[in-house]
Structure 1
Amino acid sequence: MRNIILGKTNVEVSAISLGTWAFGGPQSSGDWNTGWADQKDTDSQETLIKCYEAGIRHWDTADVYGSGRSEIIIGSMWNTLNRSDIFLATKTGYDSGSYNHFYHPKHMRSQIEKSLKHLQTDYVDLYYLHHCDFGENDEYFNDAVETVRKFQQEGKTRFIGLSDWNPSKILKFIRDVEPDVIQPYRNLLNDTYTSSGLKNWVEINDIGVCFFSPIMHGLLTGKYLKPTQFKAGDMRLGIKEFQD
């Protein structure tokens, strides 16, 4: 596996990273399907082993994937695999719990402690703000940035990341967040990463970038050649291209 330097972090990581949204299994939020159906834990564990053996050792998860299930599966592997060999990223921002907002400082504190417990580690290598919705008039923006910086100072995360489906939103906040790494949506059918101007900013400022959904949730693999009906709890039910 070819390795790259991840921007100004100066950390060498595998050029391909492993996204583990599917590890969380089927999930819903209100009327929205937000998970992945038909994902067995044994398949997830086998995937981690195969990736490790292939040199894919940059793994990405989030607290919301299966309400922690994805993190727990990863954390269960350290008796088999070496944690220090993995560049481990997780995220927070889509589970508000009992608080008024996803990025309430007390909630963020609770979430990172929960993630570390699930992942069975004292730290993560990269901790993302999972989206750029900071509330009405961005009222939680300063709190979110201050809190994630505290996590970094405390050694709970080595680096800070900023993610969003919309590259323009990342571009709006990137100057003030000063993330080490960004995670925009990009694939052959959607390159707003370039058209938004975010690509240019990243190259000028040497920001690490890790794209999510580069094969568009599996659509671009060629596996789905006709309209597909997924089971309840599968987010692909809401992706119109799977039905066209």
Structure 2
Amino acid sequence: MDYTELPGLGRPVSRIGAGCWTIGGPAVNNGKPIGWEGVDEDAAYAGLVRSRDLGVTLFDTADVYGLGRSERLIGRLLAEMRRDELVISSKVGYFAGTARHPYLQRQIRHQLATTLDNLGTDYLDLYHLHSTDFGPQDAYLAPAIWTLRRLREEGLIRAVGIRAPHRFAAEWATDPDHPHAAEARRFLALYAAVRPDAITVRHNLMTPLYRPDETDVLALARRDGVGVLLKQTLGQGLLLGTYRNRTEQGFSSADHRSRKPVSSTLVSLVEHAVGRIGQRFGTARSDLARVAIQYALHTAPGAVALVGFRDATQITDNLARSGEPLTDQNLHFLHRVMSPVRENLTESGPLAGPAQKNRPTDHQ
């Protein structure tokens, strides 16, 4: 396992982190499915233990992942270790409870207290503003920022993070004709207001490429010394060639994939690309995971790639060959093979659809 310094934390972390959305299992928040079906709690915990044994030190979760189940599983792991051996990242912003809004100051403090109780710890290494909905006219933005700064002063959190849009270049914000101009301006405004220590962004083999004169999220973070967590490194199973089988079986009403299915066109394009990747690198899960993870790490130097799992077997397979780098020739091959997929996503929109209020579109 390789390690890197993540800005804001002041300590090294594993370059591969455990993405713990999946292990929360099925869940519904505000009437919308936000979880993953088919998760056994004991098997999920065994996956956490195996992650730790493989050298993973960063574990990323959220209050809504399984409505606390993911955090409580990590808490079981923390109970077996010294607190400073692991880096724990969690999030707030999608669960409002009985409050008017998730970012009401007392609701943030309530959610953090619940998160710390679930984890069995007295502080978080990294706390993310999970949603970009701060109410009408961003009424809760300034109070939320003030609250997180107070929490950091009190020692309850060490660093603050935000999520980035799936597509972003700073230059788009000043181009009135660009289709993502408003989204770019919005992110830049939040970025300037929050001044985050870390950013979470979706980044994988399907991510569109940017021109040399465009400042994407990764370039923005490098410029400003901000840490980066890469989510959906494995494309929610698409890049492992496992998605169609799950789709044909159907998803339960508490599984987020039942809400906005991935288009059959995209699935077919990815399957064709994965088939070609398999011919070159091998068709085992460990082979395909190695390609996806190493691509993410190579194209985002210094970032941490979050990798999801359901059990010990999956995380073992995902990380079995993850330390083997790709050559420049292999990277050129991957860019060429994935080009039709990227073109389809550019035309059709994000993999998980537009962000919905009170619904995370996150990780794995």
Superposed CA deviations along residues 190-233 of structure 1, whole A, max 9, x for unmatched, are 34898673232112111100011121222211223454322221
Cα separation, 1, equivalents of 2:82 and 2:241: 34
1:1-244 equivalent positions in 2, closer than 5 A: 1-7=1-7, 9-166=9-166, 168=184, 169-191=186-208, 197-226=216-245, 227-228=247-248, 229-241=250-262, 243=264, 244=267
Tell me the distance in 2 between the aligned counterparts of 1:75 and 1:165.
30
Give the 3-state SS of the residue equivalent to 1:241 in structure 2. coil
Give 2:236's aligned amino acid. Answer: H
Residues in 1 aligned to 2:210 and 2:189: alpha-carbon distance in whole angstroms: 13
Amino acid at match of 2:237: G
- The structure in which a higher percent of residues are helix is 2
The structure whose RCO (Cα within 8 Å, separation 6+) is larger is 2
Q: Output the CA distance in 1 between the equivalents of 2:99 and 2:48.
A: 34
* Consecutive unaligned residues in structure 1, runs of 5 or more: none
Runs of 4+ in structure 1 displaced over 6 angstroms? Answer: 192-196
Count of aligned pairs between the two proteins: 244
Identity percentage of aligned residues: 31
Task: Answer yes or no: is the 8 Å Cα contact 1:59–1:89 preserved in 2.
Answer: yes
Which has the higher mean CA deviation after the structures are superposed, 68-77 or 147-156?
A: 68-77
Q: Once the 2 structures are TM-superposed, how far is the Cα of residue 133 of structure 1 from its aligned partner?
A: 1.3
**Which of the pair has more CA radius of gyration?**
2
Q: Check whether the contact 2:78–2:119 (CA below 8 A) recurs between aligned residues.
A: no
> What are the superposed Cα offsets for residues 97-121 of structure 1, whole Å, 9 maximum, x if unpaired?
1111110001001110111011000
**TM-score, normalising length: structure 2:** 0.63
Do the aligned partners of residues 10 and 192 (structure 1) sit closer, same or farther apart at CA in structure 2, a change above 3 Å counting? farther
Give the TM-score, by structure 1 length. 0.91
Q: Secondary structure of the residue that 2:161 maps to in structure 1? A: strand
RMSD of Structure 2 on Structure 1 (CA)? 2.1
Unaligned runs of 5+ residues in structure 2 are: 169-183, 268-364
Change (3 A) 1:9 1:83: closer
**Alpha-carbon separation, structure 2, partners of 1:192 and 1:157:** 34
Distance 1:4 1:82 in 2: 20
Distance 1:53 1:27 in 2: 28
